[in-house]
Every structure is written in C-alpha cells, then in structure tokens.
Structure 1
Amino acid sequence: MVKKILKSYDYTLVIAMLLLSAFGLVMVYSASMAYAVQRYHVSSDFFYQRQKIFMLISLFIFIIAAIVPYKIMKFTKFFLAPLVILSILSLVGLFFFGNVAGNAESWYQVGPLKLQPAEFVKLCVIIYLSAVYAKKQSYINRFNTGVLPPLIYLIIVCALIIKQPDFGTAAIIALIAGTIIISSGMNYKTMTKLVVFGLLLSLPLLFVMKGKLLTSKQMDRIAVIKDPFATAQHEGFHLANSYIAIGNGGVHGLGLGKSVQKLGYLPESHTDFIMAVIAEELGIWGVAFVIVLLAYIVLRGIYIGLQCKDPFGSLLAIGISSMIGIQSFINLGGVSGFIPLTGVPLPFISYGGSSLLMLAVAMGILVNVSMFVKYEKKYKDNKEQKVQNGVGRKGKVTYI
C-alpha cells in the first residue's frame, strides 16, 4: 500500500520546484551581494544565508503538506473555521502591531524576521473557496445560497489588504478567486449575475473614494510605462534600469555574478527585479529556464485539476496553479514594462521567507492532490475493471 502511494507521487513537480528554488537561491546571492554591503553594511552573503534557512524550513513544510491527505482540509469545524478566523485576525493585527515597509503596513517584525500575513492569506482563500464551492456543487447555481456567502470572506480579506495599502496583493487574491469561481461549475447565467453584482458593489466605492483610490505614486507607475527614460531620474528610475539590465544581457548574458545594474543602479535587485539580473547575467537562456519551469508547474497543476474527480481537489489544484501563474505574470510584466510595477515577488526565485514558505505549503498540497489522482486512476480503476470482468481461481481474468 505504502509503495503504491509513493509510486503515485508526481516527482516531475517536485523536481521543477527544487530546480527553481535552488536556482533562485544562487541568483539571490548574486543579486544581493552589493545591496547587502552598500545599504545594510553586512556581509555580502547576508540575504543568501537567510534565504537558505527559509529554503530548508520550506522543504520540511513541503514534505508534511505532501504527506498529509489534502481531504482533511474540507472539514469546516476543525479546519476551515479556524483558518478563516486566524487569517482575518492576522490582517487586522497589522493595524496595531504591523511594521511599515515599502509604504505599506503589511509586515510583522519579530527580531530580525519579517512575516507578511497576506502571502498566507492567498492560500487560505484558495482552500476556503475550493472547500465551500465543492460542498455546494448540488446547488452551485443558486445565487443567494450557493454563490454569495463564500464571497463575504473574500471581500473582507481584500478590503483589509487594500487598507494597508497593498493593491497588488488584493488584485492577485481577487484574480485567484475569479479563477476558482469560473472553475466551480457555475453556469454562464450565474456568473453573469455575479459580474453585475460585483460592478454594482464597486461603483459606490469608486464614487466615495474618487481620487483617493490610487495615490499619486501609483498613478506615476502607470504613466511611466509609456517612456520610462523620460523620467529616468525620478518615476521611471526602476523600469529604465530594468530595461538597461535586460539589454545588457542580450542572448548569452554577461556571466553569473557580473551584472552591472545590481551595483546600486537597480533597486530591489534581489526581490522584485531579480529577473532583470537573471537576464543581464545569464541572457535569454536564464530567462527561458525560469519561464519554462514556471509554465510547467502551472500547466501541470491545471492538468491535475482537470483529471481530479474530487471537486475539492480539482479546485485546489486549479487555484494553486493560477496563483503561481498570476504572480509570475504580474512580476514579469512589471519588470518588462508590460504592466505597471506592483512589487510582487517572482515565485520560487525572489528573496522572501513568507513567499517561500507559502509556496512550499501550496506545492505540497498540489503534489498531494496529484498523488491521489494518480493512485485512484491507476489502482482503483484497475480493481474495478477486474471486478467487472471477473477473476478466475488462478488469478486469470474471465471475460463475461
């Protein structure tokens, strides 16, 4: 039994995650060497050592999440209710005990460690919406009882994150929720009602907020996309230096550790703009390596969701895959100037303990769902086939 389960694990997902994490660790060291010395006056391997510790902890958490059956998470009384309450309390607590970083009150600081609860709330939203909509499959198209109640949690969470303010994370959570809702089995009529309801709910908010919804700094991030070099010393500084780094790398790159832009020119070179450093040092091949592995994880996760017969497991897999895909798109889009900068880390690659720990749990759950899909498909289907066909005394199949 144990051997059969172990054989059912999707080791390609595990390998892809480990390759990305190991590559990210190397690039964090390369991208943060100068930054650590210049800004924090610490050893050049300061961020590398911290990321390595988080990576080891994440590996342990991943193993636990991959072993524990994902189905226990759908029990409302023992898991979902505490999850919802703790996630909301963690966001509310920021307004009393939070630490301001990047103009947003988004962090808890305990000694040298910083934790961003919004990263874990992403996963909480995925688990909660997947469990509730899976449970409501028999009446998923009843708007008042099947659709709206779970969205109250989503609205509260997004409102608390916007209040920090962190529009990027709130937008990611809303997009992830949208993906789960689309995949939940609702018909077009119900989804149309939901869209209309969302518009009616947001219009009064937009009217009340008026010009306060986006700050002048956020408006500058949108305007700067057109020509970042026109304001390269001010609003366009980040994007202009990102372009220079990407251009310097060309096809083959300058070589590992030889980036020029990371030497004080490119802000947040080890977090938001780590892909620009990868492009400068390793060229298009380094960029392709990251994108191909991320794309594989996302597409493989969607495939697992489509193959899973359990609605909860299916929505979990699709929600986790969409989270990784959406975050990757927003980060890469910001670095390349395709969309405004939002300060979203690149999954598995950017420096950040909160992001790495959350991804470890998410990938563990995804691998666990994949294991159950493969196990049930390979062994249960075979067993059912034998029962249907009949088995002789000597173990030979007797066809009826």
Structure 2
Amino acid sequence: MLYRFVSRLIITGMMWLGLVLLKWGGNKDQLLWQAIIFTALMLMGSFAEEILHYQGDPYVLPVVQAILSLGLVFLVRISPKEALHQFWWANIGQLIFYAILFAVRDYRQLGKFRYLWGLLAVSLLFITLVFGFASGGATSWLRIGGIGVEPEEFVKLALLLFMATYLEENEELLRVGTVQVGKFSLPDWRTLGPFLIMAGFSLGLLGAQKSLGTALVFYALFVLMIYVVTERALYLGISLPIFLLVGSAGYLLFRHVRVRVLVWLNPWQDPTGMGYQIAQSLFAISGGKVLGTGLGNGIGASMVPASSTDFIFSVIAEELGFAGAMAVLALFLIVVMRAFSISVRAKDRFGQILAAGIGILLGTETLIILAGVTKLLPLTGIPLPWVSYGGSSILVHFILLGVLLNISNATAVGVKRNKTRGREYAT
C-alpha cells in the first residue's frame, strides 16, 4: 500500500513541478482543474488497487503514469489548448483502465470472439476508407459528433485479439507444418488461410488509405507474433522479401511515400521545404546536448512542425537533453520488458500470447516513431504511446494496459490460490 501511494505521489509531484515551471497561457484555470482531477484519479487509483486486492505487476502502471505525466507537461509547454484536451482523455483513459482491470472477471472470454474481432478490424478500416477524411496524406480519420477519431488505433486492439485467438488455436500446426515444400514444412491453406485473408484485407485497406505508417506497425505485429509463438525463423525469412516488394510498390504508387523516402535519404537537399520537418527535428535534438536547454527554454516547441504529435520526442530531447531522452527510452523499455515478463508467467496460452502481443505492439510503435524523428527510418506519422497528442491513442493504449495488468493480476491470484490449496492438502 505504501509503495503504491508513494510512487503515485512522486509522479504527480514531478508533474506539478513541471507545470509550475511553465507558463500556462489563457487556459490556466481549466488546465489547473484538469491537473487536479488527474492527480486525484491517480492517487485514488492506488487506494482502489489496495481495497480491491490487486496483486499483479507493481511496476508497469507507475511507469506508464510517469510517461503520461511527462507527455502532459510537454503538451502544456507546446500547446496549452491541446494539453487541456489531452488531460480530458487521460482522465477518461484512467477510468477505463480501472474498469477493465477490475470489471473483466476472465480475460479468456475475449478469446471466444476471434472472427468477430477480425470482422470489426476490417469494418473499421473500410468505413474509414469510405467516409474518412485525409490528414498528413493518409485517409485515417473519422468525424463523429464534431470530434476527430482515428479508427486505426482501435483496429490495433481488434487485430491483437484476433491474432492471439488465432495463434492459440493453430500454434502447433504453424510450428510443425503439414505441407512439405522442398526442405520446408508449411501449414496448409485451412490453417494459414484466415491469417492471410485478415493480413491481406487489413494491409490492403491501409494501403488504399495511404496510411503506410500504421501498415508497417501491423505488418511487424503479424510477423513478430507468429515468430514469438512458433519460434520458426522461416516466417521472418518469408516476411522480408514480402516487405521489400510491398514497400517498393508503395514507393512507386504514392507520391507522399516517395517524398518521405527522399527526405529521409537527404533532408539537406531542401531544408526549408520538404526537408524542413526532419531538419528542425534534428536541430532540436542536437541542441539539447547532454543535459538539455531546460524545460521551456528550447526552440523546438515552436519551430518543429507537428511538435505535439509526431515530433514531441524531439522537443523532449532538446529541453531534457540526451539524459532525459534516454530516461524516456528506459521507461518504455521497462514497460515492454514487463509485458514479456507477464507473458512468461501467464497461466494459460491465450494470456501468454496476448501479453506478448501487447509488448510487441508497444515496442514496435515506440521504435518506429523514435527512429522516424531521429532519421533512422522515414517518417511514419504514428503517435508515441501515452505521450503524443491524441485521444484515440490514449484510450486504446489504456485499454491495452488494462488487459495486460488483468492478465498479470489473474496469474498472481491463481498462483496464490494454488499455494493455499497446496498447504491445505499438506496439512
């Protein structure tokens, strides 16, 4: 109990220290109330965990809340108006998280709706393609009641649940194979068909939407989950030429993909035009040096385009320096590693695969967006989990967090129950 409350107190204290150091602008009163509600929810959550006997992983949630608090401080720094909206979504996200953590009695029930999850994923992508509007070159947004929603974020959840149920059911056939092709044993069409159809439809629709950053995340999720479950390097070998072929097709078909690749190769060819975004990002990151310019003292918040979304890490790296940037990376690494730890300890195969999938998804998203802003990969336009501005991303990642810790809690409760039964049997 003391650890939970003290950890939340430290995190909220650091957030308030950051907010005090900033100028809040015209939304100060509204931001103040939202920050108070956010703090209250975080502290009350620690009491709820104690009262409702949460026994799962004690580290993931505080680390995520530290990442979220950092993101909120920097959004206040960049755009107080957007920060106000982000506080709203963060508060709603915390409530949804605790509802999933304590209200979902058996997460294994989620595995009963495999084809429903697949149908939901494809339907959301199709509806977005038909009725959505474009932003940043990709048709990936819907307007519902005057609020912009990014269905792709919810598709991540649906595809993850589909993959977990599919892999649990077909694990052995995917590992061993039933059809001999040369030296390799591959699954037959009946086994591999649902996966190929789902992957083809989802990646095809994302390609039609020109949302190639999300397509890259989904492709990595498909490939890595199959590899983790089957431990067959063959799937990695098959996936590489497919990736190169599809990537080349995207380069030839879509102008904005060609622009991003050319800018990635040489942003200095047009640093005030097409290369302006990545050039300013690199200037901001390099300007932070080791310890940074100090919170509120950098120029990246005003000079880097999309600094509240795609390039928020550049602003963090400038004002907190290399040390702060590495600290943020370490926090994400802790979350991913703890997700894999939860996967290893889960009491059933569905829970193991689902937890591993959540870890793969979070790790892939983080790696791709950070590689983009540092010019290791072309820009993709996907948000940094719990940091970048965006309500859809915040809500979906809190749902994923709730499912992950629900698995962890169920595992711990099951272990404790088995030990109790063992002692009773021994006596």
TM-score range, shorter chain: 0.7 to 0.9
Q: For residue 38 of structure 1, what is the aligned residue in structure 2?
A: none
Counterpart Cα distance in 1 of 2:287 and 2:240: 45
Q: Could you tell me how far 1:50 is from its partner in structure 2? A: 0.7
Q: For residue 64 of structure 1, what is the aligned residue in structure 2?
A: 99
Cα distance per residue 1:163-205 (max 9 Å; x no partner): 1011110110111111211122x363xx6378559958996x7
Q: Could you tell me how far 1:249 is from its partner in structure 2? A: 1.4
Q: For 1:121, give the aligned amino acid.
A: V
Bigger shift: residues 6-15 or 220-229: 220-229
Q: For residue 9 of structure 2, what is the aligned residue in structure 1?
A: none
The partner residue of 1:103 within 124, 137, 154 is 137
Q: For residue 200 of structure 2, what is the aligned residue in structure 1?
A: 155
Residue ranges of structure 2 left out of the alignment (5+ in a row): 1-48, 178-186
Counterpart Cα distance in 2 of 1:23 and 1:149: 41
Counterpart Cα distance in 1 of 2:117 and 2:231: 29
Query: Is 1:321 aligned with 2:359?
Result: yes
2:133–2:142 CA contact under 8 A, matched in 1 = yes
Counterpart Cα distance in 2 of 1:218 and 1:201: 15
Residue 52 of structure 1 aligns to a residue whose secondary structure is: helix
Counterpart Cα distance in 2 of 1:246 and 1:3: 41
Cα distance per residue 1:293-313 (max 9 Å; x no partner): 110000010111122231110
Q: For residue 75 of structure 1, what is the aligned residue in structure 2?
A: 112
Query: Is 1:262 aligned with 2:301?
Result: yes
Q: Could you tell me how far 1:86 is from its partner in structure 2? A: 2.4
Q: Could you tell me how far 1:317 is from its partner in structure 2? A: 0.6
Q: For residue 405 of structure 2, what is the aligned residue in structure 1?
A: 367
**Equivalent residues in 2 for 1:22-41 (5 A)?**
22-32=69-79
Q: For 1:350, give the aligned amino acid.
A: S
The partner residue of 2:84 within 13, 37, 49 is 49
Residue 134 of structure 2 aligns to a residue whose secondary structure is: strand
Q: For residue 117 of structure 1, what is the aligned residue in structure 2?
A: 151
Q: Could you tell me how far 1:250 is from its partner in structure 2? A: 1.5
Q: For residue 285 of structure 1, what is the aligned residue in structure 2?
A: 323
From the superposition, tell whether residues 276 and 211 of structure 1 become closer, same or farther in structure 2 (CA, over 3 Å). Answer: closer
From the superposition, tell whether residues 201 and 114 of structure 1 become closer, same or farther in structure 2 (CA, over 3 Å). Answer: closer
Counterpart Cα distance in 1 of 2:195 and 2:374: 36
Bigger shift: residues 369-378 or 265-274: 369-378
Bigger shift: residues 122-131 or 249-258: 249-258
2:100–2:402 CA contact under 8 A, matched in 1 = yes
Counterpart Cα distance in 2 of 1:211 and 1:202: 10
Query: Is 1:241 aligned with 2:276?
Result: no
Q: For residue 172 of structure 1, what is the aligned residue in structure 2?
A: 217
1:29–1:48 CA contact under 8 A, matched in 2 = yes
TM-score of the superposition, structure 1-length normalised? 0.84
1:245–1:276 CA contact under 8 A, matched in 2 = yes
The partner residue of 1:221 within 230, 250, 260 is 260
1:4–1:375 CA contact under 8 A, matched in 2 = no
Q: For 2:277, give the aligned amino acid.
A: H
Q: For residue 384 of structure 1, what is the aligned residue in structure 2?
A: 422
Counterpart Cα distance in 1 of 2:131 and 2:266: 39
Counterpart Cα distance in 2 of 1:9 and 1:210: 43
Counterpart Cα distance in 1 of 2:88 and 2:75: 13
From the superposition, tell whether residues 340 and 146 of structure 1 become closer, same or farther in structure 2 (CA, over 3 Å). Answer: same
Q: For 1:24, give the aligned amino acid.
A: G
Q: How many residues align?
A: 366
From the superposition, tell whether residues 118 and 218 of structure 1 become closer, same or farther in structure 2 (CA, over 3 Å). Answer: same
Residue 306 of structure 2 aligns to a residue whose secondary structure is: coil
Q: Could you tell me how far 1:85 is from its partner in structure 2? A: 2.2
Q: Could you tell me how far 1:101 is from its partner in structure 2? A: 1.1
Q: For 2:252, give the aligned amino acid.
A: K
Higher relative contact order (CA 8 A, sep 6+): 1
Percent of aligned positions that are identical: 28
**Equivalent residues in 2 for 1:297-312 (5 A)?**
297-312=335-350
Counterpart Cα distance in 2 of 1:328 and 1:227: 23
Residue ranges of structure 1 left out of the alignment (5+ in a row): 33-44, 392-400
The partner residue of 2:234 within 192, 196, 200 is 192
Counterpart Cα distance in 2 of 1:269 and 1:232: 17
Counterpart Cα distance in 2 of 1:55 and 1:114: 16
Counterpart Cα distance in 2 of 1:90 and 1:123: 12
1:228–1:237 CA contact under 8 A, matched in 2 = yes
Residue 301 of structure 2 aligns to a residue whose secondary structure is: coil
Q: Could you tell me how far 1:382 is from its partner in structure 2? A: 4.8
TM-score of the superposition, structure 2-length normalised? 0.79
Q: Could you tell me how far 1:138 is from its partner in structure 2? A: 5.0
Cα distance per residue 1:129-168 (max 9 Å; x no partner): 1012112345443412333323321221111111101111
2:346–2:411 CA contact under 8 A, matched in 1 = yes
CA RMSD of aligned residues (A): 2.6
Counterpart Cα distance in 2 of 1:201 and 1:288: 30
Q: For residue 183 of structure 2, what is the aligned residue in structure 1?
A: none
Q: For residue 343 of structure 1, what is the aligned residue in structure 2?
A: 381
Q: For 1:254, give the aligned amino acid.
A: T
